[in-house]
């Protein structure tokens, strides 16, 4: 048992949209360097959970913590804005749909955050972008505009852009599900590389094989609750709950 505080911790998260309760008391803990995959049927609350972690959604009740700092603090107005902007700088998020700025080159997409939010010099940010693009295999695309890139390339730039802020955790919400099948592996390979470097990651995915390869722990959500969690070797080979078995049968 590690006594280290978790990198990400969610306690008793509840969230409703109108009359529909989408998160019904979620507890989640991700240790430093750990990789947790979140699986579950469409509509089970996976995206809402991820979005709650960086406060794109405000929880009705419960707590979110990042490296010992409470994310959903009871602050108001500008004080909360300052707080949440600082928090978000420490979390990289990659969505299903590449949200690169179309009017900016790859270089500017990546350097914008560090230059504007962190006051990094342009030359330092350029060197950083070049290093990150090499890591994701796209150094030759540094001056390209997003419209000239494939979906897989855009998603790799999106990952590089998130990494440029040197986040404490990376959140992936179905980063590959909008991609043509032949482009999925190049994005997964980047995520595996990050895993090998012990980046803390929370990955929502429908790809069970990838989850099995990359995750230390898999968490199965259904109907706004965590039904079951455990290492992939146990979850995929011998799920304990009927709901988990029924879900996994469709994939394995």
44 binds, among Mg ion, ligand ADP, none (CB under 5 to 8 A by kind): ligand ADP
Q: Which is nearer to ligand ADP, 44 or 109 (CB)?
A: 44
Torsion of CA 10, 197, 153, 140, to 10 degrees: 140
Total residues contacting ligand ADP by CB under 6 A comes to: 10
154 binds, among ligand ADP, Mg ion, none (CB under 5 to 8 A by kind): none
Which phi and psi (to 5°) does residue 236 adopt? -80, -30
- Extract the tokens encoding 156: 């790799």
Q: How far is the CB of 41 from ligand ADP (least distance, A)?
A: 7
35 binds, among Mg ion, ligand ADP, none (CB under 5 to 8 A by kind): none
Distance CA 223, CA 243 (A): 11
In this structure, what DSSP letter does residue 91 have?
E
188 binds, among ligand ADP, Mg ion, none (CB under 5 to 8 A by kind): none
Letters for 25-64 (x = contact with ligand ADP by CB under 6 A, - = none) are ---------------x-xxxxxxx----------------
Q: How far is the CB of 32 from ligand ADP (least distance, A)?
A: 25
48 binds, among Mg ion, ligand ADP, none (CB under 5 to 8 A by kind): ligand ADP
Q: Which is nearer to ligand ADP, 57 or 186 (CB)?
A: 57
Contacts of 165 by beta carbon, 8 Å cutoff, 6+ apart:
89, 90, 92, 113, 114, 117, 118
Q: What residues numbered 9-28 form the site for ligand ADP, per CB under 6 A?
A: 17, 22
Q: Which is nearer to ligand ADP, 89 or 96 (CB)?
A: 96
Contacts of 49 by beta carbon, 8 Å cutoff, 6+ apart:
10, 13, 23, 26, 28, 38, 221
Which phi and psi (to 5°) does residue 230 adopt? 170, 175
Neighbours of 78 (CB within 10 A): 8
Residue numbers of the site for ligand ADP (CB under 6 A)? 17, 22, 40, 42-48
């Amino acid at each position: 048992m590690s006594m280290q505080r978790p990198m990400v911790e969610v306690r008793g998260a509840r969230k409703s949209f109108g009359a529909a309760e989408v998160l019904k008391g979620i507890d989640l803990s991700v240790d430093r360097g750990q990789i947790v995959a979140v699986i579950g049927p469409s509509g089970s609350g996976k995206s809402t959970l991820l979005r709650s972690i960086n406060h794109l959604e405000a929880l009705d009740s419960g707590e979110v913590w990042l490296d010992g700092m409470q994310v959903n603090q009871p602050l108001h107005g500008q004080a909360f804005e300052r707080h949440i902007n600082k928090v978000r700088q420490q979390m990289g998020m990659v969505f299903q749909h590449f949200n690169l700025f179309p009017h900016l080159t790859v270089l500017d997409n990546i350097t914008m955050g560090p230059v504007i939010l962190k006051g990094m010099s342009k030359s330092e940010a350029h060197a950083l972008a070049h290093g990150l693009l090499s890591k994701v295999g796209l150094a030759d695309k540094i001056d390209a505009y997003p419209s000239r890139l494939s979906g897989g390339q855009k998603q790799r730039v999106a990952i590089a852009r998130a990494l440029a802020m040197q986040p404490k955790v990376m959140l992936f919400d179905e980063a590959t599900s909008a991609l043509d099948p032949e482009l999925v592996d190049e994005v997964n390979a980047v995520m595996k590389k990050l895993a090998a470097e012990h980046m803390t990651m929370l990955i929502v995915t429908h790809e069970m094989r990838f989850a099995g390869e990359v995750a230390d722990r898999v968490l199965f959500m259904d109907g706004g609750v965590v039904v079951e969690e455990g290492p992939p070797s146990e979850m995929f080979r011998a799920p304990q709950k009927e709901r988990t078995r029924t879900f996994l049968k469709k994939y394995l």
